[in-house]
Amino acid sequence: MSNEMEKPKEGKYIYGIIRHAGPIDFGPIGIGKRDDLVYGINYSDISAIVSNSPIIQYEARRLNMITHSKVLEEIMKHFTVLPVRFSTISEHDDDNGIMRILEKDYKKFNDMLHKMEGRKELGLKVLAQEASIYENIIEKYDEIRSLRGKLMNLPADKIHYQRLKIGEMVAEALKKETLVYKNIILDVLNPLTDDVRINDNYGEMMILNAAFLIKNISEPAFDKTVNDLDGKYGHFMTFKYVGTLPPYNFVNLVINTKGI
């Protein structure tokens, strides 16, 4: 059997959906290592942005994920985009299969584009700086400070239980403090947003891990508010602010490419 016979069939890799009528392309930036052209397939006033691709399951490796994201970021320079789930591939090697998907799901895509028009996702992670937050807790909680003071000059082998007790009290105080600051930050930012997704924290030092959907016109005010928060709390928190992102947290677009 020849190698030609063993090659996977060709399909169309789908990156996202935009509102656009007529031809468009974004250059040879497609996923994989073939430099496939990324271009639009149009139905009515919406287009699917695709590239040719073998029909394979792309592994969620860093290179593949980065390429997928970079294509979406390039599209976002010009359009509101509905990001499609990574490694979504139509099994048709011509444009007609994609056009049938757009026709079948036109209302869903149209409604979602209306919802996302003129909006963007911004990400914010806030982490407590360990030494500073503990210092803040010692200063704020009289009971912890008092017990710690009593133990400072006693031999280590005599205060094992008390040290465990202080550790438990500090851990409980840390939970309370991170929740308080999380709510303070959200109370300030929420009025500037259309929607927010609170994602899971990782590690006890994380105060907030959130994505915000905002109107483009609200971005300067949102930026300023994040900067103001950083100015106020930056001595014991680190603000990791990520600018314009595809709205991954607000669009869960799974396209059924089977049987179309």
Distance CA 35, CA 25 (A): 13
| Tens digit of each residue's pLDDT (9 = 90 or more) over 95-133 | 999 999 999 999 999 999 999 999 999 999 999 988 888
pLDDT at residue 49 greater than cutoff 80? yes
Q: Please say if the pLDDT value at position 5 is more than 60.
A: no
pLDDT of residue 2: 46
Domain residue limits, the chain: 3-117, 120-245
What pLDDT does 94 receive?
A: 87
Q: What pLDDT, on the 0 to 100 scale, is given for residue 4?
A: 52
pTM over 0.85: no
Closest listed residue to residue 39, CA positions, set 66, 16, 5, 70: 16
Integer Cα distance of 82 and 138 in angstroms: 47
Q: Is 126 helix (H, G, I), strand (E, B) or coil?
A: strand
User: pLDDT per residue over 132-181, tens digit each?
Assistant: 888 888 878 777 767 676 666 666 666 666 777 777 888 888 888 899 99
Of 92 and 38, the one with more pLDDT: 38
CB atoms within 10 A of CB 168: 10
User: Highest-confidence range of 3-7, 24-28, 141-145, by mean pLDDT?
Assistant: 24-28
Pairing of strands 237-245, 206-215: unpaired
pLDDT at residue 75 greater than cutoff 80: yes
- The predicted model gives 6-11 an average pLDDT of 84
Q: CATH for 120-245, among 3.40.390, 3.90.350, 2.60.40, 3.30.70?
A: 3.30.70
* Adjacent-strand bridge partners of 198: 210
pLDDT of residue 149: 65
What is d(CA 59, CA 253) in angstroms, rounded to the nearest whole number?
19
Strands 25-27 and 38-43: antiparallel
Q: Count the neighbouring beta carbons within 10 Å of the beta carbon of residue 46.
A: 21
